[in-house]
Structure 1
Amino acid sequence: MTLADVNTAPDSSPTPPVAKKVPVERTHHGDTFVDNYEWLREKENPDVVAHLNAEQAYTDAVTAGQEQLRTDIFNEIKNRTQETDLSVPSRKDGWWYYSRMVEGQSYGIQCRVKAESNGTLEDWTPPLVEPGVPVDGEEILLDGNAEAEGQPFFSLGGAAVTRDGNLYAYAVDNAGDELFTIRIKDLRTGELLSETIENAFYGLAFSPDGRTLFYVLADDSWRPHQIKTHVLGTPVESDQILYQEDDVAMWTGFGLSADRRHLMISIGCSEFSETRLLDFAAPEKGLQVLIPRSAEILYDAEPFLLDGTEKVLLTHDRDAVNSMISVVDAAEFSKPVEEQTWATVVAHDDAVRINGATVTATHMVVSLRKDTIERIQVTALEGLGTPGQSAAVEPVFDEELYTAGMGGSEYESPVIRLVYTSDFTPPRVYDYVLPAAGAEGELLLRKETPVLGGYRSEDYLATREWATASDGTLVPLSVLRRADLTRDGSAAGVVYGYGSYEVSMDPGFGVPRLSLLDRGVVFVIAHVRGGGEMGRHWYEDGKKLNKKNTFSDFVAATDWLAASGWVDPARIGAMGGSAGGLLMGAVANLAPEKYAAIVAQVPFVDALTTILDPELPLSALEWEEWGNPITDPNVYKYMKDYTPYENVRPVAYPKIAAVTSFNDTRVLYVEPAKWVQELRAVSTGSAPIVMKIEMDGGHGGASGRYEGWKTRAWDYAFLADAIGATELR
């Protein structure tokens, strides 16, 4: 099929490209599956590229009538966004760091100004910087627009500054494959150092003396597996491997401890982990293992000094499915785990999920989830883990459904940075003044993201509702709509879901979503099992051999919406991305009649094929999420019974759009490419099934904020057109 094949006369319907069938047999555990489209994996094959271009041409032809709607939604997003804007400055050592966005430019500009130090709270009050107003003493570290000029793609994968503020390391991806080029800039001269590191992964940090840069490399399957050290002024070819992880099912990364005295290497999967520490004061000791992975404990560690004693704060699941927090003398880790003494700081609670903890010089800061809501609590370090421990204090907000998370903090700072948002409250940046023991903290509002175009939060409502799953489980829903919508059963609806990796779909403001709500759409976020909204058990009840609960929960959410009295059941669409794209493929097979349209963004729809091949990007890392179908016939059978590609059946599928990117390394383009071919070949209906492919994009699509807005406008226009919600109310 060539591009010309989809160029049709104005009075005829476009014809979808038909890929040739090249049967390939795949046999596991006595079961043989014939895959007719596996040849589309040959990324360098000109026939594959021609086919993908033909798919895009077909998509363009089918959706040509949506062009004005896409333009309208794009303009609505643009007109509500203050395009010239900046972040709230964050202090690090002697500087305030922030980023600027300029109208008409797609990428951020990284900046800084010198900080004052007078030993008072005022030292931590960010300077007033205003959109479009020059700041005295401002230095530009990196202009993303200049970096992106002439490149098909641009993404900044991380940055680090030496403690003296002289050197700036940054990582750039110009392909969308999440492999980065690291460069180092001398901020005193503006010149780049001669050394350049290619094909690095996420993660950058300087040693305290600024002489060594730590970075990560991934293996051929895009699994981060090496932590390397680059000594400035030496050839990159001589860089040393500090740590290498050879277990293909383990993910490796690193960071600095809050007090920056240690490099912390984290190795783990979703079920257990291992932390190794490098003490910068005694690097000759090498990496020290805290709790070995053989103990099968899932934990995070934060080393710190308490009254001059080396301590480690542990967030762990030892006899605590929802995790708890303990504090341990560092000397205890030389003993076998069962002989160590751990003092409880935050006890286990079946109703509270502990997400993690860090420290400042005076306080422990805990991220937790209670009643589905992510929130922050702080406790004074004095007496931590003893009967004299202070009670935790939590910032109080005035909305029922919200998200409050850490926005970063300096170890010595008397404040922590919080980011607050809800479905209809634009992100707010607060500094929370850490309270003395027994006192309440103070919230200092630093910024609320402006929303233009006459936006008023009171014009919209978010409510918590509950759907009943097929096994009787109550599934939380976030139901978003205009406040003036009439409950007469005539509106359109969209159900959105994810449901994997214990990722929660927390309340959060989204400008693009307003364009659907203003067209009378009731937008439902289904907090299905496999996510983390209801604690660790909620996740475990939606993974491995419980994965089908994710799909049936989503169908139950759709049934709730159909029966809610708000919408016409014939006007419901569905949307999800990545693992949520697998969810879209699964519900399309389970209940195609319930949806007028489905948008599957970078969809993981050929999961079994992928996970059966450990050489494919990230496949082995997925075994802890889905099970290992290579070694376990029960997992193989279970997965084959739900994976979308293998379960396409002769029914009338709704309108489907698979949205993908040619350079995506997390969910390869071949998965949706094969899926849409199988859907078209088997579907008994006449609804169009299209694939939109970004040839220069990655897992997040094309780069740049304007291209991102265009992508979201495309997705929403496809749904809105299918469910008859094209006109503003």
Structure 2
Amino acid sequence: MKTRVWLPVLLIAAAACNQSPKMNRKPHQWPEGVAAPVAEKIPHIRTIHGDTVTDNYYWMIDFFKKGPDSSKVTDYLEAENAYLEKMMAGTADFQASLFKELKGRIKETDESVPVFKNGYYYYSRTEDGKQYFKYCRKKGSLDAKEEVLADVDKMAEGHAYYAATGFNVSPDNRLMAFGVDTVSRRQYTLYIKNIETGEIFPESIENTSGGSAWANDNKTLFYTSKNAETLLSEKIKRHVLGSGAADDVTVYHEKDNTNYIGVSKSKEGNHIVIGSSGTLSSEYYYLDANRPAGDFKRFTARRKDVLYSITPLEDRFLILTNWNAKNFRLMECPLDKTEFTEWKEVVPHRAEVLLSEVDVFKGFLVLSERKNGLVQLRVINRVSGDDHYLDFGEPTYDAYTGANPDYASAGLRYHYTSMTTPNSTYDYDMLSRKKELKKQQEVLGGYNASDYETERLYATSRDGKKVPISVVYKKGFKKDGNAPLLLYAYGSYGLSMDAGFSSSRLSLLNRGFAFAIAHIRGGEEMGRYWYEEGKMMNKKNTFNDFIDCAHFLVEQKYTTPAHLYAQGGSAGGLLMGAVINQEPELWNGVIADVPFVDVVNTMLDESIPLTTNEFDEWGNPKEKDAYFYIKSYSPYENIRPLNYPHLLVTTGLHDSQVQYFEPAKWVAKLRETRTGDHLILFKTNMEFGHGGASGRFDYLKEVALEYAFLFALEGISE
């Protein structure tokens, strides 16, 4: 399911080994006589809209529901893990070698580019052999003495999972709030630290989003409180130092359970802003940060099919909105007249350009736009009105603004990467228009970008749409149909999967694989309409686009079905389940990470975390038309006696986004129903959740497993 996107390890890992892409291929010998687990069948009847369905594996929800079959569920998951270990035993040494190779590309002792805020330079750094990081600052100069604000390596000791987030220093630089999750369900406990003494205040606040916003009095903190069962962000509360969490005042309570809410502080420092937003509408409230005990004012009322967000400036509000502007436009209004009737246009709507974000400075606006599927950064001088675009110079890439907390600055921090360019941090002078590379991700072991090639292709979908594809491979790759190719996509929630660098991916490319990203509908790469044509009652366009991209790559001889692989996670795992139901023999192997594959049952159960937030994305199956449309593509509902490809499926027992029972049921039903004898392997991480391991190296073991699975199918053993 779910809107908090699963970030694929293929896209975010860190790169390079100079092996030849011509590897000796020897057919992998899978163990014989190892029986796969057979899940018990306990019929459960679902009847709705006159449609009756028998679900033999519904009982697997019991661990989540704390039902009588809880131990039976974990026993089954452990049996699947044991089966995977036996089947992959022949790759154990190779997996260990791959892990060492992947880890060996990462610079263990490293430091982020410092960000200047309110008199201090803030940065994080990592040390050899340590899984986590230290969050630090220096006063006034980078030559000043270092203050370690949070030693996460030490904090994480004794925890199988540990995530620290939301580091937020008070305006007087004396206190720091931060959130901690030790379960991997994104339920953070909020702590407050006295930086001068090192003391952690006694009033910890449980079940929050992890973020917070300080008022200007340095003692009032606003935060987002979650519903303990549904995990919905439900209330914004005000905490005053020295009081207990039970005394915290609710300043906003969201009654619409299809909306997400959050609270933040404006960049110019004078406003606390509450945002409530769903897929189709939004609403904002604001408060003078100098008067934290006051009442929040509504900016303008939510309206059907109107999205907006606000950015306070010193003398006005900026509004980014789709009101009469499908691809969004930028508007403004006075600080004291915020109703939509007072809004004036600043940047008009353009049919060919999506306006996605705005960053503000005292003298400049920086707009993040999308045109022809690519990010553009546009700088507008607020005094002269002159504007210009940054030039990136590659056919496919990703670029985005970084941390720019200094409102008075004329310097823009931005990040750039491509499928051949490691992650790079730049400082750009918006007056002189000169840029300075502050840091580029260092790839240990040697990496030469000129050894690799990237392309931007366009496949024609069955309804005539041009679907972009980003491809990368090592030079020497032959387009003769004999090479392996891994095709990745996500395709939901309007989240764009841009073409970034991955050092882990080099282990694929160096062994002869090409890697491709299909920028399919459901994302927002080509504008808002691209998203709307891949959601709700148009969802099947997402699956068709992916299949059509695969056929295009085969037709262009990048690969053949015998060497074609696919991967997606979360909502991208739904994509994987749908496409193998449609064309099972198009793929030799598929990796489905934390896949959202039981769409009907999950969307019918509002007790499952985040379900109600998703109705505007998938539809509400309690409505007849939505039910039958969702049922027509939901992977679990459409398993048939087909020769499915080899499958590797992963999940986490504590996943708060896509619950473990969805892939568990899917795997059991696939094994029961499919024809053929291709492998179906299923791994449950019994300690983690949606994002996998929290340490910066542990997740590489999962990457090594997935790569070993692909290499075994290709007969690559070294």
State the TM bucket, normalised to the shorter chain.
over 0.9
Name the aligned partner's letter for residue 706 of structure 1: F
Name the aligned partner's letter for residue 315 of structure 1: L
Tell me which residue corresponds to 1:400. Answer: 395
* Residues 518-562 of structure 1, C-alpha deviations (whole Å, 9 max, x = no match): 111111111111011100010001000100010011111111121
Tell me which residue corresponds to 1:274. Answer: 283
Residues in 1 aligned to 2:471 and 2:397: alpha-carbon distance in whole angstroms? 13
Tell me which residue corresponds to 2:705. Answer: 714
Residues in 2 aligned to 1:465 and 1:113: alpha-carbon distance in whole angstroms? 46
Tell me which residue corresponds to 2:501. Answer: 509
> Is 1:222–1:617's contact at 8 Å kept on the other side of the alignment?
yes
Match of 2:83 among 53, 58, 63: 58
* Residues 292-336 of structure 1, C-alpha deviations (whole Å, 9 max, x = no match): 11354101110112xxxx311011001110101111123332x5x
Shift of 1:705: 1.2
* Residues 208-247 of structure 1, C-alpha deviations (whole Å, 9 max, x = no match): 2210111111112111011111100112211111111011
The reply on whether 1:325 has 2:350 as its aligned counterpart is: no
- The DSSP-based 3-state class of the residue aligned with 2:287 is strand
* Correspondences of 1:566-577 after superposition (within 5 Å): 566-577=558-569
What's the TM-score, normalizing by structure 2?
A: 0.93
Match of 1:682 among 663, 673, 680: 673
* Correspondences of 1:122-201 after superposition (within 5 Å): 127=142, 136-201=144-209
- The DSSP-based 3-state class of the residue aligned with 2:261 is strand
Tell me which residue corresponds to 1:209. Answer: 217
> Is 1:660–1:694's contact at 8 Å kept on the other side of the alignment?
yes
Match of 1:103 among 125, 128, 143: 128
Match of 1:606 among 586, 598, 605: 598
Tell me which residue corresponds to 1:391. Answer: 386
Name whichever of 281-290 and 75-84 sits farther off: 281-290
Match of 1:20 among 22, 40, 43: 40
* Residues 356-392 of structure 1, C-alpha deviations (whole Å, 9 max, x = no match): 213112111211111211222121222xxxxxx6122
Residues in 1 aligned to 2:304 and 2:266: alpha-carbon distance in whole angstroms? 23
Match of 1:705 among 693, 696, 710: 696
Tell me which residue corresponds to 2:297. Answer: 288
What's the TM-score, normalizing by structure 1?
A: 0.91
> Is 2:230–2:610's contact at 8 Å kept on the other side of the alignment?
yes
Shift of 1:477: 0.5
* Residues 466-511 of structure 1, C-alpha deviations (whole Å, 9 max, x = no match): 1121212211101111112122221111111100001111111111
Name the aligned partner's letter for residue 232 of structure 2: R
Tell me which residue corresponds to 2:472. Answer: 480
Q: From the superposition, tell whether residues 413 and 17 of structure 1 become closer, same or farther in structure 2 (CA, over 3 Å).
A: same
What root-mean-square deviation, in Å, do the aligned CA atoms of Structure 1 and Structure 2 show? 1.5
Name the aligned partner's letter for residue 377 of structure 1: R
Residues in 2 aligned to 1:180 and 1:375: alpha-carbon distance in whole angstroms? 34
> Is 1:171–1:183's contact at 8 Å kept on the other side of the alignment?
yes
- The DSSP-based 3-state class of the residue aligned with 1:419 is strand
Shift of 1:604: 0.3
Residues in 2 aligned to 1:264 and 1:528: alpha-carbon distance in whole angstroms? 34
* Residues 155-212 of structure 1, C-alpha deviations (whole Å, 9 max, x = no match): 1131211111111111111111111122211111112112111222232121122101
Residues in 2 aligned to 1:648 and 1:685: alpha-carbon distance in whole angstroms? 14
Residues in 2 aligned to 1:527 and 1:725: alpha-carbon distance in whole angstroms? 29
Residues in 1 aligned to 2:308 and 2:386: alpha-carbon distance in whole angstroms? 23
Tell me which residue corresponds to 2:686. Answer: 695
Match of 1:35 among 32, 55, 58: 55
Name the aligned partner's letter for residue 285 of structure 2: R
Tell me which residue corresponds to 1:565. Answer: 557
Residues in 2 aligned to 1:34 and 1:519: alpha-carbon distance in whole angstroms? 45
Q: From the superposition, tell whether residues 292 and 723 of structure 1 become closer, same or farther in structure 2 (CA, over 3 Å).
A: farther
Shift of 1:643: 0.3
Name the aligned partner's letter for residue 714 of structure 1: L
The reply on whether 1:356 has 2:357 as its aligned counterpart is: yes
Shift of 1:565: 1.8
Shift of 1:284: 5.6
Residues in 2 aligned to 1:510 and 1:557: alpha-carbon distance in whole angstroms? 22
Higher relative contact order (CA 8 A, sep 6+): 2
Name the aligned partner's letter for residue 215 of structure 2: S
Name the aligned partner's letter for residue 689 of structure 2: G
Tell me which residue corresponds to 1:223. Answer: 232
Residues in 1 aligned to 2:289 and 2:484: alpha-carbon distance in whole angstroms? 58
> Is 1:520–1:725's contact at 8 Å kept on the other side of the alignment?
no
| Sequence identity (%) | 40
> Is 1:328–1:341's contact at 8 Å kept on the other side of the alignment?
yes
Tell me which residue corresponds to 1:421. Answer: 417
Shift of 1:88: 0.4
> Is 1:22–1:36's contact at 8 Å kept on the other side of the alignment?
yes
Shift of 1:104: 0.7
Name the aligned partner's letter for residue 563 of structure 2: R
Equivalenced residue count is 682
Tell me which residue corresponds to 2:636. Answer: 645
Q: From the superposition, tell whether residues 210 and 511 of structure 1 become closer, same or farther in structure 2 (CA, over 3 Å).
A: same
Shift of 1:657: 1.1
> Is 2:415–2:423's contact at 8 Å kept on the other side of the alignment?
yes
> Is 1:596–1:723's contact at 8 Å kept on the other side of the alignment?
no
- The DSSP-based 3-state class of the residue aligned with 1:195 is coil
The reply on whether 1:669 has 2:668 as its aligned counterpart is: no
Name whichever of 466-475 and 670-679 sits farther off: 466-475
> Is 2:178–2:210's contact at 8 Å kept on the other side of the alignment?
no
* Residues 403-437 of structure 1, C-alpha deviations (whole Å, 9 max, x = no match): 221111121222121111111111111111122xx
* Residues 236-271 of structure 1, C-alpha deviations (whole Å, 9 max, x = no match): 211111111011111111211111211111101111
> Is 2:190–2:210's contact at 8 Å kept on the other side of the alignment?
no
Residues in 1 aligned to 2:605 and 2:267: alpha-carbon distance in whole angstroms? 39
Residues in 1 aligned to 2:589 and 2:94: alpha-carbon distance in whole angstroms? 16
> Is 1:300–1:356's contact at 8 Å kept on the other side of the alignment?
no
Name the aligned partner's letter for residue 334 of structure 2: D
Name the aligned partner's letter for residue 185 of structure 1: K
- The DSSP-based 3-state class of the residue aligned with 2:358 is strand
Tell me which residue corresponds to 1:7. Answer: none
- The DSSP-based 3-state class of the residue aligned with 1:565 is coil
* Residues 255-291 of structure 1, C-alpha deviations (whole Å, 9 max, x = no match): 1111121111110111111111112234465111112
Name whichever of 479-488 and 684-693 sits farther off: 479-488
Name whichever of 195-204 and 349-358 sits farther off: 195-204
Name whichever of 10-19 and 595-604 sits farther off: 10-19
Unmatched tracts of structure 1, length 5 or more? 1-9, 117-126, 128-134, 383-388
Residues in 2 aligned to 1:551 and 1:295: alpha-carbon distance in whole angstroms? 28
Residues in 2 aligned to 1:604 and 1:666: alpha-carbon distance in whole angstroms? 9
Name the aligned partner's letter for residue 331 of structure 1: D
> Is 1:393–1:441's contact at 8 Å kept on the other side of the alignment?
no
> Is 2:217–2:290's contact at 8 Å kept on the other side of the alignment?
no
> Is 1:521–1:725's contact at 8 Å kept on the other side of the alignment?
no
Name whichever of 538-547 and 714-723 sits farther off: 714-723
Residues in 1 aligned to 2:527 and 2:254: alpha-carbon distance in whole angstroms? 30
The reply on whether 1:635 has 2:626 as its aligned counterpart is: yes
> Is 2:162–2:694's contact at 8 Å kept on the other side of the alignment?
yes
Tell me which residue corresponds to 2:309. Answer: 300
Tell me which residue corresponds to 1:375. Answer: 376
Name the aligned partner's letter for residue 357 of structure 1: V
Tell me which residue corresponds to 2:106. Answer: 81
> Is 1:519–1:726's contact at 8 Å kept on the other side of the alignment?
no
Match of 2:511 among 516, 519, 534: 519
> Is 1:512–1:713's contact at 8 Å kept on the other side of the alignment?
no
Name the aligned partner's letter for residue 428 of structure 2: Y
Tell me which residue corresponds to 1:248. Answer: 257
Name whichever of 17-26 and 616-625 sits farther off: 17-26
Shift of 1:726: 4.4
Residues in 1 aligned to 2:390 and 2:375: alpha-carbon distance in whole angstroms? 12
Shift of 1:397: 2.2
The reply on whether 1:458 has 2:459 as its aligned counterpart is: no
- The DSSP-based 3-state class of the residue aligned with 1:499 is coil
